[in-house]
């Protein structure tokens, strides 16, 4: 359909108002800047993030180390699903966790429809919206985010940023280091729908529950 | 999609004749604006943000060929393919060809207004494909064989009982209660899960296309679009040429406005940015990635007096805030896009001949423009469309002549005063006792449903002149 | 106001006040004079041109707009007891002359001097009336006309004046930002939808339990009172200027001479 392409772009060129050169376009864009800063629910980004998660109907636990996270996961998984089996991607951080200490049996793979629960490790998180950022690649196959009933996401305190703009800066850095993933997802709550007369129901197609485990000293209650 | 926008008044009448539906819509017309108002108040810098997004959108439209080309380059670089369609037929043909190439039997579809515009589902079904809408609202109206009544909540008009009866009839699952929304959602999840797993092709829409990295932004709460982007072996993104934005930051700036305006939430459950097929190191994802870009007269709108309409982000806020949409119901508009944005877009995309009633469904109250996150002056665009309607002789002749007469008379102050003085005197005499007239020649529309308040007596100007005369005599 | 000489207001009467409710114009004059203005009423004025403009008859509206621009060129201010007519002059006249720069400038110049009555009294004159001498006998609610609300920023001003001049505390309407369904020619083009809208508005007004509904736009008020009369509902409907000026001898809008 190259004819259609030439036709459409030709019509666009004739119709559009500006006839700028590339560098002029980019200069004009830079001049427009980015959006004014987003409001935050609290002064502190961690507080803000926690509050947002709650409003987004996600649950949150916190601990100081990954070893402790394993214990929390072990407990959560057994309570929820009466199982010890979980699926995760090949995230080196996940691979290095002492799963056996918690009696958790980990399969490193993409989730299937039979997996009730998956664990992901967030690249970043955003306080503004209570979002966890996951890359869809080997370290976290996309199916792991959406095929399961329960989704657990781990987050390191240092990866929490204030807003979308900061998140994109970090995402660009990550992409330079580890390559550009097929998908970048901001996950901000369990799957939900209000399509039936406005009633909010969880577990529309994806996870019914989203559980966040926050790892960092400041996360602990004093 | 088959269009009958000229039946607006009849269809609005049918809508209003159903008290339960009317009540339901009235409630939404109260609760949705209240919720949005709170979300916007919490945002704190709505005006500033909307100005910024407007400037970014305008900049992109002013340099649209650059950004479209840039976007295409990026998609190709990531191993995807971009297809261009001038109109609905070309668009449907491209999608069908992709499906055929892969011997696809089953297609899973996410919510996409573009595909409603081209009636893609019917086209694919006509060629033997099984197409399942996976957004719950879309799925419900697909079962009901109805068009959407709202651009964000397609089954806006369906009651819990409507949906229950529909599921009992269409899902062969034996006897069951299904009395509440939870059990309905669970049943839909079960049915649709099988569809996701079996789909050969996943078709989704896009809330924005990002020129910098070739990704498209997909905003959902259900996660259906993400499943369709992940499980089927072919992934097709459907979008129109006006959806492109320069940078990812621009897409998320728009997102801040979009989600709050659409659902009063701060964030949707899932916001994903996809581009390209699975790579060598991926464990899942599609084997092929396609983007189909539709023009369908948008290049005509570009550079015209209606260009601002291309900033529309399809949030539905103008619908929720329009008392005429709430009163008439979404189906009255007779095509894909209802409410104020639909009354502008439908004539521009399908022609005024097919739809000139719609721009008249407006009292110019301005509430839509006030809440529009893209700052589109909808009442002004609707007025311009009425001007076109008039110029092209599509509006009723008696209206055109009547208003011409009024304009002529109003330019002759003396004659105007004498004539209006006489009419006012007459109306006063007829209506003075009751204070109002029950019927009135040439104003049927008014007196069908309300009395016509009678004038107080002499006109102000007559009384004023008299007073001036008396004063000068003193 | 620092000037010793009163500055002159040209009253834009509005065609509805001229033809149907002269008391609104007389009340407006009284209020403006109380507030220290010299008021003149140019006799050349007829209609601001909204009916044609809103149906898209731009070419027919321009001469009307030019007539208004000429007629009101010499006043310090132009004041209308209507948010929609004032909005027409302030916002839509300049838009009408986009292609005629000379007239566009004149339209903008007029726009800068044009005000809705209650907004003019509060925002421009900062009018402080004396304490009300009597307490109100009736209860009141208020309908915000859309153009006043959104084009002219009229919301608190009438409330403030009603309170300070007459001691009136309003019983506020639910859904006060929703249109009453008048919309000029809209009510005649789409009577059934307009009926629903005005019925909803009337229900909200009756639900307040107020005796009187006030407003700043006669179009809305005739619409609402017309519907109330048709349904036999007891609701007195008046323009806010009449209550502010206490020009209450005649019956309310759509009421007979009792």
Is the model's pLDDT at B63 over the cut of 70? yes
Q: Which of A145-159, B322-336, B443-457 has the lowest average pLDDT?
A: B443-457
Q: Which residues of A touch B296 (CB under 8 A)?
A: none
pLDDT at A221: 54
Would you say how long chain A is, in residues?
A: 222
Q: pLDDT tier at A178 (50, 70, 90 boundaries)? A: confident
Separation between Cα atoms, residue C88 and residue C65, nearest integer Å: 9
| Cβ density class C101-129: b for 16+ within 10 Å, e for less | eebbebbeebbebbbbbbbbbbbbbebee
Q: In which band, very low, low, confident or very high, does the pLDDT at C136 lie, cut at 50, 70 and 90? A: confident
Q: Specify the pLDDT at position C6.
A: 72
Can you tell me the mean pLDDT for A168-186? 95
Which pair of tokens denotes residue C133? 């001498």
Average of per-residue pLDDT across B370-392 = 97
Q: How confident is the model at residue A17 (pLDDT cuts 50, 70, 90)?
A: confident
- Taking only the tens place, the pLDDT of each residue in B119-165 is 999 999 999 999 999 999 999 999 999 999 999 989 888 989 999 99
| Domain boundary assignment for chain A | 38-219
Is B323 close to C23, i.e. CB distance below 8 A?
no
User: Taking the model in full, what pTM does it have?
Assistant: 0.95
CA distances from residue B404 to B141, B362, C87 in whole angstroms, order as listed: 45, 21, 22
Which helix (H) or strand (E) element contains residue A47?
Answer: helix A45-55
Q: Does B381 touch chain C (CB under 8 A)?
A: no
Phi, psi of B274 (to 5 degrees): -110, 150
The helix/strand/coil state of A160 is strand
Taking only residues 7 to 36 of chain B, the set having a beta carbon closer than 8 angstroms to any beta carbon of chain A reads: 24, 28, 31
CATH class of A38-219: alpha beta
Task: Provide the mean pLDDT of chain B.
Answer: 95
pLDDT band at B261 (very low <50, low <70, confident <90, very high): very high
Asked if the model's pLDDT at residue B209 lies above 90, the reply is yes
Asked if B223 and A205 come within 8 Å (Cβ–Cβ), the reply is yes
Rounded CA separation A122/A185 (Å): 10
Look at residues A161, A146, A149, A182 and name the one whose alpha carbon lies nearest to residue A81.
A149
Beta carbons of B268 and A188 less than 8 angstroms apart: yes
In B278-288, which positions are buried (b, 16+ CB within 10 angstroms) versus exposed (e)?
beeebbbbbeb
Neighbours of chain C (3+ CB pairs under 8 A): B
For residue B362, name the pLDDT band (cuts at 50, 70, 90): very high
With a cut of 80, say whether residue C133 has pLDDT above it.
no
Would you give the distance in Å from CA B369 to the centre of its chain? 13
CA distance A103 to A84: 7
Q: How far apart are CA A216 and CA B463, in angstroms?
A: 82
Contact B59 A28 (CB under 8 A): yes
* Contact of C206 with C224, CB cutoff 8 Å: no
* Residue B76 neighbours by CB under 8 Å, 6+ apart: B82, B214
Residue B359 pLDDT more than 70? yes
Q: Which residues of chain B does A22 touch, with a Cβ-Cβ cutoff of 8 Å?
A: 66
- What domains are defined for chain B? 1-44+317-395 (no CATH), 48-296 (3.40.50.10420), 412-473 (no CATH)
What pLDDT does C2 receive? 47
Strand A150-156 to A131-136 pairing = unpaired
Query: How big is chain B, counted in residues?
Result: 474
Torsional class of A220: left (φ above 0), alpha (ψ -120 to 50), beta (otherwise):
beta
Mean pLDDT of chain A: 93
* The CA-based dihedral angle spanning residues B117, B121, B126, B131, taken in that order and rounded to the nearest 10 degrees: 180
Is B429 an 8 Å CB contact of chain C? no
Q: Choose, out of C192, C225, C241, the residue to mutate when testing the contact with B (most B CBs < 10 Å).
A: C192
- Of A194-203, C78-87, C99-108, the range with the lowest mean pLDDT is A194-203
Residue C131, classed as helix, strand or coil, is coil
C223 touches chain B (CB under 8 A): yes
Asked whether the beta carbons of C13 and C43 are under 8 A apart, the reply is no
Flag whether A touches C (3+ CB pairs, 8 A cutoff). Answer: no
Q: Which residue of chain B comes nearest to A147, CA vs CA?
A: B227
The answer to whether B225 touches B192, Cβ cutoff 8 Å, is: no
pLDDT for the residue A118:
97
C-alpha span between C121 and B298 (Å, rounded): 47
Nearest 10 degrees: CA dihedral of C161, C165, C167, C171? -30
- Whether C178 contacts chain B with CB within 8 A: yes
> What's the mean pLDDT in C57-68?
96
| C106-130: average pLDDT | 95
Burial of B178 (0-12, 13-18, 19+ CB in 10 A): buried
Beta bridge partners of A161: A126
CB within 8 Å: C22 and B416: no
- Distance of alpha carbon C96 from alpha carbon C105, whole angstroms: 11
Helix (H/G/I), strand (E/B), else coil: A121: strand
Q: Are the C-beta atoms of B80 and B229 separated by less than 8 Å?
A: no
Is B459 touching C (CB cutoff 8 A)? yes
Q: Is the pLDDT confidence value at A222 over 50?
A: no
Token digits for B57? 């959108």
Which pLDDT belongs to residue C1? 45
Q: Which of B152-161, B327-336, C33-42, C220-229 has the lowest mean pLDDT?
A: B152-161
CB–CB of B253 and A35 under 8 A? yes
Of the candidate ranges B365-374, B401-410, C105-114, the one whose mean pLDDT is the lowest:
B401-410
pLDDT of residue C171: 97
Q: Please give the backbone phi and psi of residue A34, each rounded to the nearest 5 degrees, phi first.
A: -110, 175
pLDDT at residue number B245? 98
- Give, as one character, the DSSP assignment of residue A102: G
Name the residue facing B136 among A38, A188, A195 (closest C-beta).
A195
Q: How far apart are CA B181 and CA B62, in angstroms?
A: 46
SS3 call for C170: coil
C-alpha Rg value of chain B to the nearest Å: 27
The contacts of residue A134 (CB under 8 Å, 6+ apart) are A120, A122, A123, A140, A145, A153, A184, A185, A187
Task: Provide the pLDDT for residue B119.
Answer: 96
CA dist., res. A208 & res. A202, Å (int): 5
What is residue C5's predicted lDDT score, i.e. its pLDDT? 67
């Amino acid at each position: 359909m190259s004819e259609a392409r030439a036709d459409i772009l030709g019509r666009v060129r004739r119709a559009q108002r500006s006839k700028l050169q590339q560098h002029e376009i980019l200069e004009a864009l830079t001049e427009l800047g980015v959006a004014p800063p987003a409001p935050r629910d609290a002064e502190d980004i961690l507080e803000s993030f926690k509050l947002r998660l709650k409003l987004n109907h996600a649950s949150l636990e916190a601990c100081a180390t990954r070893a402790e996270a394993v214990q929390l996961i072990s407990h959560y998984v057994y309570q929820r699903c009466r199982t010890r089996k979980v699926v995760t991607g090949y995230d080196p951080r996940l691979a290095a966790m002492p799963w056996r200490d918690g009696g958790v049996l980990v399969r490193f793979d993409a989730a299937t429809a039979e997996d009730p629960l998956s664990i992901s490790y967030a690249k970043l998180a955003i306080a503004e919206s209570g979002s966890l950022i996951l890359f869809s690649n080997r370290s976290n196959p996309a199916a792991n985010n959406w095929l399961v009933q329960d989704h657990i996401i781990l987050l390191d305190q240092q990866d929490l940023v204030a807003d979308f703009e900061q998140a994109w800066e970090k995402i660009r850095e990550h992409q330079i280091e580890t390559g550009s993933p097929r998908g970048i997802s901001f996950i901000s709550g369990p799957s939900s729908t209000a399509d039936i007369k406005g009633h909010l129901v969880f577990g529309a197609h994806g996870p019914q529950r989203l559980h966040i485990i926050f790892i960092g000293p400041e996360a602990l209650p004093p | 999609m088959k269009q009958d926008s000229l039946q607006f008044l009849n269809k609005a009448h049918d809508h209003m004749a159903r008290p339960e539906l009317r009540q339901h819509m009235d409630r939404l017309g109260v609760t949705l604006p209240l919720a949005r108002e709170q979300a916007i108040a919490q945002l704190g810098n709505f005006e500033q943000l909307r100005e910024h997004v407007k400037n970014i959108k305008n900049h992109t439209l002013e340099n649209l060929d650059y950004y479209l080309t840039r976007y295409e380059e990026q998609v190709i670089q990531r191993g995807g393919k971009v297809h261009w369609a001038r109109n609905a037929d070309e668009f449907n043909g491209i999608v069908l060809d992709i499906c055929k190439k892969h011997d696809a039997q089953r297609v899973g579809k996410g919510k996409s207004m573009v595909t409603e515009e081209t009636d893609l589902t019917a086209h694919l079904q006509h060629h033997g494909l099984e197409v399942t809408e996976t957004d719950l609202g879309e799925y419900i109206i697909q079962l009901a064989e109805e068009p959407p009544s709202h651009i964000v909540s397609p089954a806006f008009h369906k009651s819990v009982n409507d949906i229950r009866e529909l599921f009992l009839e269409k899902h062969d699952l034996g006897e069951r209660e299904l009395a509440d929304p939870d059990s309905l959602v669970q049943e839909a999840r079960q049915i649709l899960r099988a569809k996701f797993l079996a789909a050969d092709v996943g078709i989704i829409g896009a809330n924005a296309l990002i020129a910098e990295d070739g990704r498209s932004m997909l905003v959902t709460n259900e996660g259906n679009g993400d499943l369709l982007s992940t499980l089927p072996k072919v992934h097709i993104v459907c979008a129109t040429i006006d959806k492109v934005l320069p940078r990812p930051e621009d897409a998320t700036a728009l997102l801040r406005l979009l989600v709050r305006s659409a659902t009063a939430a701060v964030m949707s459950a899932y916001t994903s940015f996809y581009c390209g097929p699975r790579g060598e190191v991926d464990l899942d994802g599609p084997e092929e990635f396609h983007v189909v870009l539709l023009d369908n007269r948008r290049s005509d709108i570009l550079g015209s007096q209606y260009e601002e309409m291309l900033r529309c982000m399809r949030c539905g806020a103008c619908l929720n805030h329009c008392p005429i949409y709430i009163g008439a119901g979404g189906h009255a508009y007779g095509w894909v896009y209802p409410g104020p944005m639909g009354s502008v877009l439908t004539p521009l995309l399908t022609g005024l001949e097919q739809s000139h009633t719609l721009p008249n469904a407006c009292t110019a109250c301005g509430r839509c423009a006030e809440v529009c996150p893209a700052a589109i002056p909808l009442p002004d665009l609707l007025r311009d469309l009425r001007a076109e309607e008039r110029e092209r002789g599509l509006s009723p002749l008696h209206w055109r002549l009547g208003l011409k007469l009024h304009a002529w008379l109003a330019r002759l102050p003396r004659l105007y005063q004498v004539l209006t003085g006489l009419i006012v005197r007459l109306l006063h005499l007829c209506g003075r006792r009751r204070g109002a007239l029950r019927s009135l020649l040439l104003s049927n529309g008014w007196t069908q449903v309300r009395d016509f308040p009678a004038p107080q007596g002499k006109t102000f100007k007559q009384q004023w002149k008299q007073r001036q005369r008396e004063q000068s005599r003193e | 106001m620092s000037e010793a000489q009163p500055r002159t207001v040209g009253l834009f009467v509005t065609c509805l006040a001229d033809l149907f409710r002269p008391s609104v114009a007389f009340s407006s004059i009284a209020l403006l004079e109380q507030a220290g203005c010299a008021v003149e009423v140019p006799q050349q004025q007829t209609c601001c041109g909204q009916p044609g403009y809103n149906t898209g008859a731009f070419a027919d509206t321009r001469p009307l707009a030019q007539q208004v621009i000429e007629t009101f060129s010499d006043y310090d201010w132009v004041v209308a007891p209507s948010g929609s007519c004032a909005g027409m002059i302030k916002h839509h006249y300049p838009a009408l002359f986009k292609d005629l720069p000379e007239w566009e400038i004149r339209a903008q110049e007029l726009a800068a001097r044009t005000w809705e009555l209650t907004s003019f009294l509060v925002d421009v004159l900062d009018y402080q009336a004396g304490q009300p001498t009597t307490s109100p006998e009736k209860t009141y609610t208020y309908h915000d006309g859309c153009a006043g609300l959104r084009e002219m920023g009229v919301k608190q001003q009438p409330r403030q004046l009603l309170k300070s001049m007459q001691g009136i505390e309003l019983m506020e309407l639910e859904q006060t930002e929703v249109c009453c369904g008048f919309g000029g020619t809209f009510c005649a083009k789409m009577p059934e939808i307009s009926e629903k809208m005005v019925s909803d508005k009337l229900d909200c007004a009756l639900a307040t339990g107020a005796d009187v509904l006030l407003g700043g736009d006669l179009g809305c008020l005739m619409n609402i009172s017309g519907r109330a009369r048709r349904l036999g509902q007891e609701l007195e409907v008046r323009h806010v200027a009449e209550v502010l000026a206490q020009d209450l001898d005649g019956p309310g809008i759509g009421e007979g001479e009792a």
